[in-house]
Amino acid sequence: MPSPNASYSITLRLQLAAEDARAIGRVTTTIGDADGAVAAMDFVDTTQDPVTVDITVNAAGSDHAEAIAKAVERLDGVHVHRVSDRTFLLHLRGKLEVRPTVPLKTRDDLSMAYTPGVARVCQAIAAEPEDARRLTIKGNTVAIVTDGTAVLGLGDIGPAAALPVMEGKAALFKQFAGVDAWPVCLDTTDVDEIVRTVELLAPAYGGINLEDISAPRCFEIEDRLRERLDIPVFHDDQHGTAIVALAALHNALRLVDKRLEDITVTVCGIGSAGNAIARLLLREGVGDVVAVDRPGILASEMDDLDHVHRWLAERTNRAGRRGGLREAVAGSDVFIGVSRPDLLAPEDIATMRSGPIVFALANPDPEIDPVLAREHAAVVATGRSDQPNQINNVLAFPGVFRGALDARATAITDDMKVAAARALADVVAPDELRATYIIPSVFNERVTDVVAGAVRDQARRDRAVAPTS
């Protein structure tokens, strides 16, 4: 069973006989015996008989939470008055709101923020369109665009069901980078319609964050939007993951005393994230990439490859390996999985070169149990928050967009992604580096500023910035 965690947190409102001094002890013991974790306790009302008590419990899943509640209900002298799912309570009425940033208390306020004064600002933008980045929300606003076809590990659940994730993404943008982002959940999966809709919406935004759009459609959507828009377009499932993975790899290689240009990296799962990771590794000068997908190891002579697989097949696997994952991993220095659970065995890691590095990033269940992986690997990373070395996109996208918006960037280039990865890696000081700490925490206060600065400076070097009026 997975460990209890806050995502399956419930609050049990209990009524206990006032004279029963041992009731609380029996309740907490029962919760522990049911493998639950008591997170908090609050006496709501002790003036009445029975006494009302709230106990917050972390469970490992919905069925586990229900079993804990039933176990408590069976206790003599204990009545479960109500069970509240704390995650659902947190999401009631959504997680976002809009507030004005200027006072609107007097006639003077209204005459400047709205009519008639606003007309002067409209005329200024009509004369100098780039002033919209300075005089409107465009300079600090990102559209989070999805069609709901590849949401987390849930798959194609549609745009309405994707909205809670997009709200969460917007909250992260604001919390970590001060960027105002807004969900744009589109009720279409047609590539032409998505591209055209985003084009029509783009004047109000300083950047487009594509999110949870299934491959291979996501590649075409991003490519077409990058061609047509003069603002950054960034598919976070691809490039955010790639930036953080590259940063973690730089630090892992320092631990095992290897150079990027000397190693072979097996990338398993050439969807959106795997494709971007492989491409960024090639951009950074990795020795070789062995790309593995459902057809096996990608090779240039393979028939029926789509253009994404074909591009990689022609630029990877220099040693001409054949076969599946096991053949790819043997003799590799690094395994990066963005595929599905339980594909890699400990004995496979044993066939890798000395000091093997394993990034098992399938979420929530990785390609190999991290505990088993550590028996053979020098460094292990996952996508999970309950494990060391979490490869989490939130380490990248807030700073990437903060830097791009500050630079008035018109695009996010490959060199900007590499700069972001190098800067992120350097947040971990040499004296802090260890096998369980190759990437900073998402709550490290330096991360966003460091990544933003690297992206901003690289955007200016790349001349990928809008003209100033």
Burial string for 1-17 (b: 16+ CB within 10 Å, else e) reads: eeebeeebbbbbbbbbe
pLDDT of residue 46: 80
For 362, what's the count of Cα atoms within 13 Å in the CB-facing half-sphere? 19
pLDDT classification of 455: cutoffs 50, 70, 90? very high
Residues 337-343, mean pLDDT to the nearest whole number: 93
pLDDT tens digits, residue range 429-439?
999 999 999 99
What the block records as the tokens of 60 is 């490992």
pLDDT at 261 exceeding the cut of 70: yes
pLDDT at 1 exceeding the cut of 70: no
- Between β-strands 379-382 and 357-360, what pairing exists: parallel, antiparallel or unpaired? parallel
pLDDT of residue 147: 97
Which of 4 and 233 is assigned the larger pLDDT? 233
Q: What percentage of residues in the chain have a pLDDT greater than 90?
A: 86
pLDDT of residue 29: 95
pLDDT of residue 154: 85
Residues 449-466, mean pLDDT to the nearest whole number: 93
SS3 89: helix
pLDDT at 281 exceeding the cut of 90: yes
Show which residues are catalytic. 114, 169
Residues 82-105, mean pLDDT to the nearest whole number: 91
pLDDT tens digits, residue range 371-394?
999 999 999 999 988 889 999 999
The correct CATH number of 5-91 out of 3.55.50.30, 3.30.70.60, 3.40.50.2000, 1.10.3720.10 is 3.30.70.60
Q: Which residues, other chains included, contact 160 with Cβ-Cβ below 8 Å and sequence gap of 6+?
A: 148, 185
pLDDT tens digits, residue range 181-225?
999 999 999 999 999 999 999 999 999 999 999 988 999 999 999
Supply the DSSP string of 135-160, one letter for each residue.
Answer: HSGGGGEEEEEE-SSSBTTTB---HH
With a threshold of 0.85, does the pTM exceed it?
yes
pLDDT tens digits, residue range 135-147?
999 999 999 999 9
pLDDT of residue 303: 83
pLDDT of residue 469: 58
Report the CATH number of the 141-231 domain: 3.40.50.10380
Query: Which of 3-7, 69-73, 78-82, 277-281 is predicted least confidently?
Result: 3-7
pLDDT tens digits, residue range 151-180?
987 889 999 999 999 999 999 999 999 999
pLDDT classification of 83: cutoffs 50, 70, 90? very high
Q: Where are the domains of the chain?
A: 5-91, 141-231, 242-469
Q: Which residues, other chains included, contact 450 with Cβ-Cβ below 8 Å and sequence gap of 6+?
A: 399, 423, 424, 426, 427
**Average of per-residue pLDDT values in the chain:** 94
Q: What is the DSSP letter of 16?
A: E
Same topology for domains 141-231 and 242-469, yes or no?
yes
Q: What is the distance between the alpha carbons of residues 51 and 431, in angstroms, rounded to a whole number?
A: 53
The correct CATH number of 242-469 out of 3.50.50.60, 3.40.50.720, 2.40.50.1070, 3.30.420.40 is 3.40.50.720
The DSSP element (H or E) to which 113 belongs, if any, is helix 107-113
